[in-house]
Structure 1
Amino acid sequence: STYFSLGEPMEMINASCATKDLKTMMQLVYLTFTDIHRDEDAFAAWKEQMKAVLTNYANDPQFIFSDSLSATLYNHNIMREPLKAEDIDLINYDRILEIAKERTANAADYTFIFVGNFDIDSLKPVVEKYIASLPANKNRDKVGKISTIQPGLIDNNFTLPMQTAKSTVYAVYSGKQKYDLRSNIMFSMLDQIMDIVYTETIREEEGGTYGVGTSSNLSPVNNSWLFLFGFDTNPQDEKRLTERAHAELNKVVTEGPREKDFNKVKEYMLKQHAQNLRENSYWMNIIKSDVLGYGDNNTDYETIVNGITLDDMKKFTKKLFNGKNIIEVTMTGVVEDETK
C-alpha cells in the first residue's frame, strides 16, 4: 500500500509491504510521484460518499462540539475548519490534481527512510531504479506559518438540543516551550499521572462520568505545548466536575505528583520503550524526527526517564502552568419539550 498526505508542516508518501513485495511497493511509490492522473468516476463517487457522511455528521452533537472546539482553539483559522457537506461541491478537481503534481514534482526535496526486515544489498538496486530515476531539481521548500492555539482565558459555553441531556467539557492549557526529549518525556509523564488522578477523583470518587480523557503535546515544529482534559457528564454535575478537574491539575502542578503515581508512570514508560524498540513504526518516527532536525529521541531515553525526579516535575509544571492560557469549551445538551 502507498498513500500521499499533505499537511501544514510537511508532505509525505507512506508505503508498506511484506518483505517479498518490496519491488511492487517501490513501483507504487514511483507511480505516486509520476502518474497522478484524472479519474472522474472515482472523484464523483467520493463526492457522493462524503456528502452522505457529512450530512449525517451535521446533526451529530460530537461533530458539532468538535467543530466548536477547533474554532475556539484556533480562532476560526480556515486551515483548521472541518469539512462540511456544503463544501463538497466547491472542491475544484483540477486544482487538487495541480497541487498534488506540484508537491510531487521534486523528489530531491523528500528524504526517503526505509525501516524493516530487509537486506541492504537487495534494497539498493530497487532504490537506484525507482527512487534515483524520479524527477528532481535543486529547489527546497520551507515550512510556512503554522496555526497555533490562541492565547488568553477563553470560555465557549453553548447549548444544543439532544434526545438525552448530556454535557461535554474540554479544557485546554497551552503555552510556549522549546522542544527537547526531556521536556517531551515530562509532558508525557504529566499526561499519564493526570489520567491516574482523574480516574481516582472524577470517575471513582465523584462518580459523575465514565472517565476523563487527557492528552498532551509538545510540538517540535513551533515549540508550543498543550495539555487538555475532557469528559462527558450530566448537565447538573458539569460545573462541579469541571472545577474539581481544574483543582486536581492545579494540585499536581503546585505540589508535585504523588510518589506512587510518579513511580508507576516511570515504570510503565520504561517497559513501553523496551517494547517500542521492536516496532518498525517506532524506528520510523525516531529516524524521521532526527532527519527533520528535532534531535535524537531514542539514545538517551531510558537515562532521561530514570533521571527525572519528583522535584524536577514540580519545577517543570509550575513554570509552564501559569494560568494565562486556558480555553474551556462546554456543550450542554437540552432535551426539547416533546409537547411543543
Structure 2
Amino acid sequence: MQNTLSVISSLLIINLLLLLFSVSSNAQTINFNDSLYVDKTIKKGNYPLRPYVDIGKALMSGVIIKEGKIISESMLQSIGSTTFTLSNGIKVHYKFTDKNKNDVQLRAISYGGLSLIKDQDLPSAQLLAKFIIKSGLGNHSAIDLSKILVDNTAKTDIHISNITESINGFSTTKDVETLLQMIHLRFVNPRFDKDVYQVVIENLNNYITKRCHDINEKIKDSVTATLYGNNHPKRRLFNNEFIKDVSFDKIKVVYMERFNNAADFEFFIVGDLQKRALRSLLEKYIASIPINDTKETWQDNSVSWLEDMIDKKIPLIMENPKSEVRIGYKNMMNYSLKNVLVARALGDILEFRLTEILQEQVEGYRGNVKVSVQKRPIEQASLQIAFDCNPDKIDQLIAMVNQEIKNIANGTITRTDLNEIKSDYLKERKQEQDYNSYDIQVLINYFREDYNMNDPKNSEDLVNTITIKDIEAFTEALIKDSKSYKIVFSQDLKVKK
C-alpha cells in the first residue's frame, strides 16, 4: 500500500482535479501545460502549501468572551464620525474613509502614563513596550504568534509617554477582526515571557557597551547630567545602573497598572471599513473587555533644571577635530493653535539662518533648531539649537546665533521668507489630508483636544494670519527672563585616540 501511494505525484493529483473542474461550466479551465507549471512551482517551494488555520480560534484559544452590546450610537456631521457607547462604558469614535484603500487604523488612548509611575519603577516602565511586543500575546509566544498570523496583516503595539498610555493597531480590511482580537488580548490576556525578558536584558547590556563609544550618546548623557544632575530619578542616564533597576516583576506590575483597566481608554477607528461590519466586532471584542470604576488622569511630574541659567564647557574626545554646541531656552507660554504655528515658523526661519551661518564658515557643518509649545503638564515654550563647528569658531558662531535670535525678536524677518514658509505649510496640509492618518488625528483632536482640524479657522486661516509681528512678539516673550543653557563640547586637538 505504501509503495502504491508513493508513486502518486502532485502532477497526477493536479490532472485529476482537471477532470473534476472540467465538468463544471462555471469552473475556470486550465490546460495540461498549466498543470505542469503548477507542479514545478510547488516542487520549487514558491507556493508552499500550509495547513488551514482558523486564526480566530487559534489566537483566542483559552480566552472566554462574554459579549457586550452597543447601547447608543450618535453621528457628528461636522467631522463625519460616529460614536458608539458600549455596555461596559467604553466609547469608540469611528469614521469611514477609503482615501487609502484596504487600510484600517486604530488607537486607544488614556491619560496617566509615566507621570503615575513610582520613581523606582521608571526604568521598568520605560522598557515595557520593547519587552511586551517581543513576548507574544495571549497564550502564544512571539514565534507561535508569527506562525498563526503568517498571512495576516493585523499588528498592534503599545506606547507609554509622559502623560498617556496607548495601544495602536492597523490592518487591511479583511483582517480587522484579528486586529480587534489582538486589542482585546492586550487588555485581558497580555503575555509576559521570562525567557524573552532575559534576552532583552542581555541585548541591552550589549548595547550599553557599544553605546559607550557613540559620541552622540555621550553628548546626550552629558546634556542630561548638566541640566538635571547625574542621579535624578526622573531623568536617569541609560547605563548599567539603569538596566540593573529593571525588573521582570515590576514590568508586569506597571503593565497591569496602566493597561489592566480600559475604563478611561478612548478608542478611535478610521479606515476602509463599513459601519455594519464594525458593529458586531465591537460588541464581541471591545464591549466584552471587563472594566472597573477607577479612572485616572495625569499628574504634573515636570522637572526643573539644576539652575535657571547654565553655561558649561565639557571636554570630550572626538574622532574629528570639531566642537558641538547646544543652546536652549524655555519660558512660560500660553498654549494655543496659533502659538504652535508661530513656534514652527520661528524654528524654520532660525534653522535656515543657522544653515547659512555654518555654510559661510565651513562647508559640511550642520545644525538644527526645534521650537515647540507644550500644553501639558505645564504650558511653556522651548527653543533648542544644536550645531557642530570648528573649535576656533565656537565663540564667534554662538554670538552670531544669539544675534540672529535677537534680530528675529526685533522683527528682522523678510516678508518673502515668511510667505514661502506659509505656502509650504498650506501645501503640506493639503497633502496630509490624503491619508487615513490625518482623519484619525481629526477624531483625536476633536474628542480629546476640543477642536476641529477640518475647520479652516483652526488650520488654513490660522496659517494665513501669521505675521512678522506675531513671530517677533513670540520670540521676545520666549527669550525675555527665560531659563537658558549653553553647553559646549570641545577637545584638546593634541589628544589622539
The 5 Å alignment of 1:101-250 reads: 101-148=256-303, 150=305, 152-200=308-356, 202-207=357-362, 210-221=365-376, 222-250=378-406
Per the TM alignment, residue 113 of structure 1 is displaced from its structure 2 partner at its CA by 0.8
Does 1 or 2 have the higher relative contact order (CA < 8 Å, sep 6+)? 1
Hey, what's the Cα distance between the residues in 2 that align with 1:184 and 1:33?
35
Per the TM alignment, residue 171 of structure 1 is displaced from its structure 2 partner at its CA by 0.7
User: Contact 1:30–1:134 at 8 Å: present in 2 too?
Assistant: yes
Selected match of 2:214 from 56, 60, 66: 60
Q: Alignment RMSD, CA only?
A: 2.1
What per-residue deviation string (whole Å, max 9, x for no partner) do you get for residues 103-127 of structure 1? 1121111000112222222122212
Answering whether residue 487 of structure 2 is matched by residue 329 of structure 1, we say yes
Normalised to the residue count of structure 1, the TM-score between the two structures is 0.92
What per-residue deviation string (whole Å, max 9, x for no partner) do you get for residues 248-288 of structure 1? 12111112422111111000001111111122333333432
User: Contact 2:381–2:478 at 8 Å: present in 1 too?
Assistant: no
User: Contact 2:408–2:471 at 8 Å: present in 1 too?
Assistant: no
Per the TM alignment, residue 149 of structure 1 is displaced from its structure 2 partner at its CA by 5.1
What per-residue deviation string (whole Å, max 9, x for no partner) do you get for residues 283-317 of structure 1? 33343233333644452210011112222222232
In 2 relative to 1, CA 285–167 (structure 1 residues): closer, same or farther, beyond 3 Å? farther
User: Contact 2:156–2:183 at 8 Å: present in 1 too?
Assistant: yes
Selected match of 2:468 from 289, 310, 317: 310
In 2 relative to 1, CA 211–195 (structure 1 residues): closer, same or farther, beyond 3 Å? same
Per the TM alignment, residue 13 of structure 1 is displaced from its structure 2 partner at its CA by 0.7
Q: Which moved more, 1:108-117 or 1:293-302?
A: 293-302
In 2 relative to 1, CA 164–227 (structure 1 residues): closer, same or farther, beyond 3 Å? same
Per the TM alignment, residue 148 of structure 1 is displaced from its structure 2 partner at its CA by 4.4
Match of 2:426 in 1: 270
Secondary structure in 1 aligned to 2:203?
helix
Hey, what's the Cα distance between the residues in 2 that align with 1:325 and 1:133?
50
Per the TM alignment, residue 175 of structure 1 is displaced from its structure 2 partner at its CA by 0.8
Per the TM alignment, residue 173 of structure 1 is displaced from its structure 2 partner at its CA by 1.2
Per the TM alignment, residue 75 of structure 1 is displaced from its structure 2 partner at its CA by 5.2
**Aligned AA (1:333):** Q
Normalised to the residue count of structure 2, the TM-score between the two structures is 0.64
In 2 relative to 1, CA 44–9 (structure 1 residues): closer, same or farther, beyond 3 Å? same
In 2 relative to 1, CA 170–91 (structure 1 residues): closer, same or farther, beyond 3 Å? same
User: Contact 1:180–1:294 at 8 Å: present in 2 too?
Assistant: no
In 2 relative to 1, CA 298–71 (structure 1 residues): closer, same or farther, beyond 3 Å? farther
Secondary structure in 1 aligned to 2:480?
coil
In 2 relative to 1, CA 82–115 (structure 1 residues): closer, same or farther, beyond 3 Å? farther
Selected match of 1:17 from 148, 155, 171: 171
What per-residue deviation string (whole Å, max 9, x for no partner) do you get for residues 175-219 of structure 1? 11121111111101111111222222x123223652220111111
Identical positions, percent: 26
**Aligned AA (2:197):** F
Match of 1:5 in 2: 159
Secondary structure in 1 aligned to 2:268?
coil
Hey, what's the Cα distance between the residues in 1 that align with 2:496 and 2:330?
42
Q: Which moved more, 1:280-289 or 1:43-52?
A: 280-289
In 2 relative to 1, CA 286–333 (structure 1 residues): closer, same or farther, beyond 3 Å? farther
Hey, what's the Cα distance between the residues in 2 that align with 1:25 and 1:52?
34
Hey, what's the Cα distance between the residues in 1 that align with 2:451 and 2:421?
24
User: Contact 2:374–2:380 at 8 Å: present in 1 too?
Assistant: yes
User: Contact 2:236–2:242 at 8 Å: present in 1 too?
Assistant: no
User: Contact 2:411–2:469 at 8 Å: present in 1 too?
Assistant: no
Hey, what's the Cα distance between the residues in 1 that align with 2:392 and 2:450?
45
**Aligned AA (2:339):** S
Match of 1:36 in 2: 190
Hey, what's the Cα distance between the residues in 2 that align with 1:214 and 1:203?
13
Secondary structure in 2 aligned to 1:78?
coil
Q: Select the structure of larger CA radius of gyration.
A: 2
Secondary structure in 1 aligned to 2:488?
strand
What per-residue deviation string (whole Å, max 9, x for no partner) do you get for residues 126-162 of structure 1? 1221111112122111211232453622112200123
Per the TM alignment, residue 330 of structure 1 is displaced from its structure 2 partner at its CA by 1.6
Hey, what's the Cα distance between the residues in 2 that align with 1:256 and 1:322?
17
Secondary structure in 2 aligned to 1:231?
strand
Q: Which has the larger share of helix?
A: 1
**Aligned AA (1:7):** S
The 5 Å alignment of 1:74-85 reads: 74=228, 77-85=232-240
Secondary structure in 1 aligned to 2:410?
helix
Hey, what's the Cα distance between the residues in 2 that align with 1:294 and 1:246?
37
**Aligned AA (2:310):** I
Match of 2:79 in 1: none
Per the TM alignment, residue 12 of structure 1 is displaced from its structure 2 partner at its CA by 0.7
User: Contact 2:411–2:471 at 8 Å: present in 1 too?
Assistant: no
In 2 relative to 1, CA 334–164 (structure 1 residues): closer, same or farther, beyond 3 Å? farther
